[in-house]
């Protein structure tokens, strides 16, 4: 599965008030592995950036004065996200701004319009996911980093690409399973690290694996038979404890 973990920075809170995107950052994963492909672009919003949001992301009018406008980067950006599952923290905010930009652009590609996003991409909102997993708790990106022991000490200001990279690590930790595997082809030893979202913390490293390096060990017939017998024994015990007839 192809996923694009992404974030945007904007001139203000609501596109209905004329606010625009000033930065887009995204990283690509396929089957929970980082591919190394990223997308990052500052954008001239063609309007003033509110001081309140400059204090958050550090992007002021001068910084983006010579950057391309959205119309100039739309095709490249759309090609990067089209068809992917987008993983976004507080997705309605970012998707709303992207759809607003595409609506203003009113452009087609191959005869089809660019956008709206949800017609061409699945969208997974990690904020909604976090609220379901941790009800009643703080679920900002910073809070999730602390909860899952993800290092975000280098995050002084919000930045779209940095936030996307951090969110990718948080998402992998939230969804469990293996998040890191390092294989050294030059030595006879291998080191594995797995995500463990517990109080003991976890260590996340980006996966770098050449096809064919991972050895798959399959069970023998005897091991399969032993496993099946154990499963049947557990099932029988469950029927007995729950008052059911195992032969029913």
Euclidean distance between CA atoms 200 and 222, whole angstroms:
36
The residue with tokens 């997308």 is 39
CA-angle at 153, arms to 148 and 157, nearest 5° = 110
Q: Is 19 a catalytic residue?
A: no
Q: How many CA atoms lie within 13 A of 46 on its CB side?
A: 9
Contact 1, 85 (CB under 8 A): yes
Strands (E), the chain: 2-10, 21-30, 33-42, 85-88, 108-109, 112-113, 122-125, 180-183, 190-193
Among 19, 40, 57, 158, the active-site one is: 158
Q: Which residues pair with 28 in a beta bridge?
A: 4
3-state DSSP of 72-106: HHHHHHHHHHCCCEEEECCHHHHHHHHHHHHHHHC
Q: Catalytic amino acids? A: 158
């Amino acid at each position: 599965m192809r996923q694009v973990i992404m974030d945007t920075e904007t001139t203000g809170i609501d596109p209905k008030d004329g606010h625009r995107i000033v930065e887009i950052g995204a990283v690509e994963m396929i089957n929970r592995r980082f591919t190394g492909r990223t997308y990052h672009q500052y954008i001239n919003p063609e309007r003033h950036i509110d001081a309140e949001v400059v204090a958050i992301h550090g992007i002021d009018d001068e910084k983006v004065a010579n950057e391309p406008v959205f119309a100039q980067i739309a095709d490249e950006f759309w090609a990067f996200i089209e068809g992917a599952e987008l993983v976004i923290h507080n997705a309605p905010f970012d998707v709303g701004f992207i759809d607003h930009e595409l609506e203003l652009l009113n452009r087609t590609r191959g005869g089809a319009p660019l956008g709206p996003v949800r017609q061409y991409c699945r969208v997974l909102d990690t904020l909604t996911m976090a609220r379901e997993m941790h009800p009643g708790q703080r679920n900002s990106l910073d809070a999730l980093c602390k909860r899952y022991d993800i290092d975000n000490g280098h995050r002084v200001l919000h930045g779209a690409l940095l936030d996307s990279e951090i969110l990718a690590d948080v998402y992998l930790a939230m969804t469990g399973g293996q998040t890191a595997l390092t294989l050294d082809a030059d030595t006879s030893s291998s080191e594995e690290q797995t995500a463990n979202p517990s109080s003991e913390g976890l260590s996340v490293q980006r996966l770098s694996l050449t096809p064919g390096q991972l050895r798959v060990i399959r069970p023998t017939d005897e091991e399969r038979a032993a496993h099946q017998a154990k499963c049947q024994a557990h099932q029988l015990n469950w029927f007995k404890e729950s008052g059911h007839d195992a032969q029913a």
